[in-house]
Each structure stands twice: as structure tokens, then as C-alpha cells.
């Protein structure tokens, strides 16, 4: 059994908000941040947080659009364009601090997983904070330069689709080369036949086999690292 709640937390002088899911029982439990796709904090992202809670994690999905979400690509595009990326990083840093403040959370090193826009923000948060110990960016189109990747201390599993029309394979190869050149502890997995957003089971892009493998690998990473 799990419990869920809408929560608020300090985020650099403003209030962040999000969906918190946690196992029943006092813990201690490891913690994971779940970062939204460009659609916003929709039921799909909440369900991922709930899946982590069912596996024994305290999971927080921050609402980077502060109450707004999209169902159509044009709406999502507008929300992304209007999002202040620096404030989003502050919201995520606030979410990290909030999880670390919870008495039922241990260790205080936290995991992070994100999808599409959230995959890119997963990399950015891991570069910004050494307290992210494990990270799983899925189809991160905006990838930090090599000097930013070199700041990441987290162990990573990075998932991409071979048929992703928005992320050419040469970009993925460059990303992997940058990880290797900076000696980061990371696995990059490209799923044959998988398009962008292959993990989202509410979209036509969903590919069950790739999604299951990526979930299993991410979960195993968090279970091993966040002891």
C-alpha cells in the first residue's frame, strides 16, 4: 500500500509544488525525484511516482508548470517556451531539499528520473547537485556540454529510442562519447525500433518491451545505489 498527497515546498523564495507518493510504514525509505515530460505533471507522471512508492521509495514529482498541463503538442510547446528553466532548476533543488528533510527518507542521497524535457533536467540537476547519487534520464534531447557532464557524480542509466525523430543517433553517440571522455559512471542504452517517449503508456509511442527493460534497469540502479 502507498499514500499520496499534493505537497508544497520552499524553492528559492517561492513555493514549489508536486505529487508525493510514499510507502506505508515509517521507513526509512530511499527517495527519488520524478521529472515530467513537456505535457506537465499529468496522471502518467504521477503514476510513475506511485510505481516507485510501491517499490519502497519516497517519490516526489515536482510540478514545474505550477498547475498547468497540456494534452496537445501545441499546448505543450507553449508551456515549455514559457517555462523559466532557471526557476525550474530552483524548483528541483527545492524538491531535493524537501525530500532530504523528511524524517522517513534515508539515505539523504537521492535518485532522479526524468522524461524528454525531464530527462534534460535530470542531467542538469545531477550536474548542479552532488546529492543526486543515481540518475536515469530518458530521451534527453537537450544535453549538457562536456564540461557540465563532468560535474555529474551520479551513476547513470540513459535511455534513448533508435527511431526518435527528435534526437538523431549521432547526438546520442556524441553524448555517450562526452560521458566516456569525462569518465562518468554511465550506461547509454538505445532501444531498437523505439520512438521518442516510448515509456509513456498513454501515448501511441509506447513500446512495452523497451519500457519494461528501461524501467527494470532504472529501478535496479536506484535499489543498488540508494542503500
Q: Which residues are catalytic?
A: 116, 164, 196
DSSP state of 184: -
Q: Are 225 and 155 in contact (CB under 8 A)?
A: yes
Bridge partners of residue 4, in order along the sequence: 21
> Collapsing DSSP states into helix, strand and coil, what is residue 152?
coil
> Any alpha helices (H) in the chain, and if so which ranges?
43-54, 73-82, 85-101, 117-128, 146-149, 169-181, 208-225
Name the residue with cell 543498488.
224
d(CA 35, CA 118): 5
Burial class (CB in 10 A: 0-12, 13-18, 19+), 216: exposed
Amino acid at each position: 500500500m502507498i499514500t499520496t498527497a499534493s505537497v508544497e515546498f520552499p524553492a528559492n523564495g517561492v513555493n514549489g509544488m508536486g505529487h508525493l507518493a510514499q510507502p506505508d510504514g515509517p521507513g526509512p525509505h530511499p527517495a527519488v525525484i520524478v521529472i515530467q515530460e513537456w505535457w506537465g505533471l499529468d496522471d502518467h507522471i504521477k503514476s510513475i511516482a506511485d510505481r516507485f512508492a510501491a517499490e519502497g521509495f519516497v517519490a516526489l514529482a515536482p510540478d514545474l508548470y505550477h498547475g498547468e498541463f497540456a494534452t496537445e503538442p501545441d499546448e505543450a510547446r507553449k508551456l515549455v517556451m514559457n517555462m523559466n528553466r532557471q526557476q525550474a532548476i530552483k524548483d528541483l533543488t527545492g524538491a531535493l531539499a524537501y525530500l532530504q528533510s523528511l524524517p522517513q527518507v534515508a539515505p539523504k542521497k537521492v535518485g532522479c528520473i526524468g522524461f524528454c524535457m525531464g530527462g534534460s533536467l535530470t542531467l542538469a540537476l545531477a550536474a548542479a547537485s552532488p546529492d543526486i547519487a543515481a540518475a536515469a534520464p530518458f530521451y534527453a534531447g537537450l544535453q549538457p556540454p562536456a564540461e557540465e557532464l563532468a560535474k555529474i557524480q551520479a551513476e547513470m542509466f540513459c535511455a534513448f529510442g533508435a527511431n526518435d525523430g527528435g534526437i538523431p543517433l549521432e547526438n546520442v553517440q556524441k553524448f555517450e562519447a562526452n560521458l566516456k571522455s569525462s569518465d562518468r559512471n554511465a550506461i547509454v542504452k538505445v532501444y531498437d525500433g523505439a520512438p521518442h517517449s516510448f515509456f509513456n503508456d498513454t501515448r501511441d509511442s509506447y513500446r512495452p518491451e523497451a519500457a519494461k527493460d528501461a524501467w527494470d534497469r532504472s529501478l535496479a540502479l536506484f535499489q543498488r545505489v540508494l542503500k
